[in-house]
Amino acid sequence: MKKAILVLAIVLLFCVIGVGCLVNKSDDEKEKVQVSGKTYKEFTAFFAVPGTELDENNVIQNLIADATGIKVHEKWLGSETAYDAISELLESGDYPDFVDAGEESVRMYEAGALVALDDYIEKYPNVKELFSQKQWNSLRQSDGHIYWIPQFSSTYGKERVCVHIDEAFWIQTRVLEWAGYPEIHTLDQYFDLIERYYAAKPTMSDGTAVIPYTILCDDWRYFCLENAPQFLDGYPNDGAAIVDPQTYTVIDYNTTDTAVQYFKKLNEEYKKGIVDPEFYKQTYDEYIAKLSSGRVLGMVDQWWDFAYEAEDAIRHAGLDDEGCQYVPLPITIREGITNQWHNSGSVFHGSSGLAITKSCKDVDKAMEFVSALLEQDIHDLRYWGIEGVDYVIDDNGMFKKTKGMRKMAFDTAYKKAHFCQYNYFPQWLGTSRDGINAMKPEGQEVEFYDGLSDKVRKCLTAYDAQTYVEMLGSNPSPGPWYPIYTYAQALSPKSDEGEAYHMMTECKHNYLPQVVMANNFEKTWAEYMEAYNSCHPERFLNGLQNEVNRRVEAAADYEQ
């Protein structure tokens, strides 16, 4: 198939440059599109996260259409919240063919908006292969059926990880270089370094003001503010609570001594002018714009939440030469704690995924497309691009990019016009079926290192590291309960646990920015705790404890 795709690539590139002939909707059949003179089936999709719509004549999207006979028009979350967007869909009863409703997935299931996928999964080996039977069974809802397919939880062959794609305290390389690449392990050390750098260099080279530290707390992304205490105490990203690995006891990280210390520290830094005074009201787009400008020295975030926009923008603007790219640091609340910012092995995110709605008129064809996207040649097309255009293959079969190819991959306009990852459809991490290459470029060790900017490479070398993961260290998967946040995200809002979880979330979203900005921290924290306890967190935590126990027991039974 790869030779056929290469020929198609040449034809389609000629069309884009020469006559702009790629996509024209037929007047008499709205569910069909034309690609290079051929008519193909079109599906629609909505994903309850912000994203970038591709150009109409996107080259690789049209190559995939030629190879599969199908094209999907993707829509993303706009200025509304995921809750409001899904509420609007449910009220209208008019759904896209595909949907990922995120934390609202259970609502769509309970409303009867989704198609049970059990029989279809069995028909398509590429899809069935994504998970073990145990994992597939864990996706069954209260009626015993499977309604969505997690997209980001499958590793083929050997794990290949260079980028820490998860949460961390991030800092620009220029800050570390200025200080002589010191060892930074604690929260106090992290902010002390940022304070000293900001005092010495308060502006960018063009005179614009530096932002020492910002916090994203827009809608569901307020995890950038609220969940650091679990990591600071040396626990992994269970998200909803800490789970003691020895006793399996659930601990509420919102009320620990470390939580108090962390938010008091943010309050102190806010009063010093280190924390961005606009953090509490900035939108996600405004946050990304600040990071993309190179002005922000540090923040807490998940790599996937900022890097694909901001890091690429920084490199495209040449700000990587000024040391404006970010690396993660192994921050804990005090010295002597082993951090668990990074855990090996893919995490099974079973609380949501790609679903097909009752509005889809051809579920078989939709699942056929999902299956086709997992074929190795098309998977390579999604993530590596076109051979000879986006990457080359050396004599040993290794995929590589030239410097010019990497530069184009950072260009926002080029990405919209050229690349199509169908990134909210199922995909593989790990090693290609050829046994040589990584499924994605960011997992290709040599390509990752060769593609680093000089400043990042210099920084990693100073810390005796070659990857972002090595900046933190890696830990094994915590245990059979992990991650427990998948239980929280799948709770029905009608249940006692789900109602308590919703109230706790709203309370934290409302109070934590106030805590950071408070004139009197102790008074505001006490008010916050009073409001938090009125949400009956024990109902939620008891539910978590029961689920941890169930998962541990189920794993033990499965291993027998």
The confidence score (pLDDT) of residue 15 equals 42
Phi, psi dihedrals of residue 554, rounded to the nearest 5°: -65, -40
Q: What is the dihedral of CA 216, 448, 7, 432, to 10 degrees?
A: -100
Place of tokens 């609007």: 88
- What 8-state DSSP symbol labels residue 31? T
- Give mean pLDDT, residues 114-130: 97
* Alpha-carbon separation of residue 541 from 249, 367, 499, 529, 547 (angstroms): 10, 38, 12, 16, 10
Handedness of CA 329, 332, 336, 337 (dihedral sign): negative
The confidence score (pLDDT) of residue 267 equals 98
Q: Over 60: is that where the pLDDT of 206 sits?
A: yes
Token pair for residue 228?
């650091």
Q: CA 217, 218, 222 angle in degrees (round to 5)? A: 40
Query: Can the peptide bond before residue 245 be classed as cis, meaning omega within 30 degrees of 0?
Result: no
Which tens digit of pLDDT belongs to each residue from 160-173? Answer: 999 998 999 999 99
Q: In the structure, what pLDDT confidence band is assigned to residue 80 with cuts at 50, 70 and 90?
A: confident
* Alpha-carbon separation of residue 209 from 194, 197, 278 (angstroms): 14, 13, 14
Which tens digit of pLDDT belongs to each residue from 510-532? Answer: 999 999 999 999 999 999 999 99
The structural architecture, per CATH, of the domain 2-160+347-443 is 3-Layer(aba) Sandwich (3.40)
The confidence score (pLDDT) of residue 19 equals 32
Residue 345 φ/ψ region, left for φ over 0, alpha for ψ in the -120 to 50 degree band, beta for the rest: left
Q: For residue 426, which of 60, 138, 154 has the smallest C-alpha distance?
A: 154
E strand or H helix at 72, and its extent? strand 70-76
The confidence score (pLDDT) of residue 30 equals 39
CB of 239 closer than 8 Å to CB of 183:
no
The letter for the amino acid at 394 is D
Q: Over 70: is that where the pLDDT of 9 sits?
A: no
**If DSSP codes are grouped into helix, strand and coil, which group holds residue 227?**
coil
- Lowest average pLDDT, out of 12-21, 76-85, 320-329, 397-406, goes to 12-21
Which tens digit of pLDDT belongs to each residue from 219-230? Answer: 888 999 999 999
- pLDDT: is 552 or 490 the higher one? 552
Q: What is the dihedral of CA 48, 52, 56, 61, to 10 degrees?
A: -80
The confidence score (pLDDT) of residue 21 equals 35
- Give mean pLDDT, residues 19-33: 39
**If DSSP codes are grouped into helix, strand and coil, which group holds residue 354?**
strand
Q: Over 90: is that where the pLDDT of 100 sits?
A: yes
Q: How far apart are CA 453 and CA 105, in angstroms?
A: 40
The confidence score (pLDDT) of residue 558 equals 66
Taking residue 368's Cβ as centre, other Cβ atoms within 10 Å add up to 20
Q: Which residues pair with 146 in a beta bridge?
A: 140
Phi, psi dihedrals of residue 245, rounded to the nearest 5°: -70, -15
Q: Over 80: is that where the pLDDT of 32 sits?
A: no
Q: In the structure, what pLDDT confidence band is assigned to residue 31 with cuts at 50, 70 and 90?
A: low
Q: Over 50: is that where the pLDDT of 28 sits?
A: no
How many residues are present in the chain?
560
- Give mean pLDDT, residues 419-434: 97
* Alpha-carbon separation of residue 472 from 93, 167, 192, 328 (angstroms): 47, 11, 20, 7
Q: How far apart are CA 212 and CA 198, in angstroms?
A: 6
Which tens digit of pLDDT belongs to each residue from 348-396? Answer: 888 899 999 999 999 999 999 999 999 999 999 999 999 999 999 999 9
Token pair for residue 277?
């005074």
- Give mean pLDDT, residues 407-425: 94
Q: Which CATH number fits domain 167-346+452-472: 3.40.50.11610, 3.40.190.10, 2.60.40.1180, 3.40.50.620?
A: 3.40.190.10
**If DSSP codes are grouped into helix, strand and coil, which group holds residue 283?**
coil
Which tens digit of pLDDT belongs to each residue from 11-24? Answer: 444 443 333 333 33
The confidence score (pLDDT) of residue 34 equals 53
* Alpha-carbon separation of residue 184 from 171, 329, 444, 472, 535 (angstroms): 11, 7, 28, 11, 37
Question: Domain segments of the chain: what residues?
Answer: 2-160+347-443, 167-346+452-472, 485-559
Please determine whether the domains at 2-160+347-443 and 167-346+452-472 fall in the same fold group of CATH.
Answer: yes
- Lowest average pLDDT, out of 107-111, 169-173, 199-203, 552-556, goes to 552-556
Phi, psi dihedrals of residue 428, rounded to the nearest 5°: -110, 140
- What 8-state DSSP symbol labels residue 114? B
The confidence score (pLDDT) of residue 503 equals 96
- pLDDT: is 80 or 258 the higher one? 258
Taking residue 16's Cβ as centre, other Cβ atoms within 10 Å add up to 18
CB of 339 closer than 8 Å to CB of 234:
yes
CB of 546 closer than 8 Å to CB of 248:
no
Q: Over 80: is that where the pLDDT of 29 sits?
A: no
CB of 227 closer than 8 Å to CB of 204:
no
Q: Over 70: is that where the pLDDT of 276 sits?
A: yes
The confidence score (pLDDT) of residue 421 equals 97
- Give mean pLDDT, residues 291-309: 95
- Give mean pLDDT, residues 134-141: 92
Phi, psi dihedrals of residue 208, rounded to the nearest 5°: -75, 150
Q: In the structure, what pLDDT confidence band is assigned to residue 560 with cuts at 50, 70 and 90?
A: low
In terms of Cβ atoms closer than 10 Å to its own Cβ (0-12, 13-18, 19+), residue 437 is buried
Q: How far apart are CA 147 and CA 118, in angstroms?
A: 8
Q: What is the mean pLDDT of the chain?
A: 91
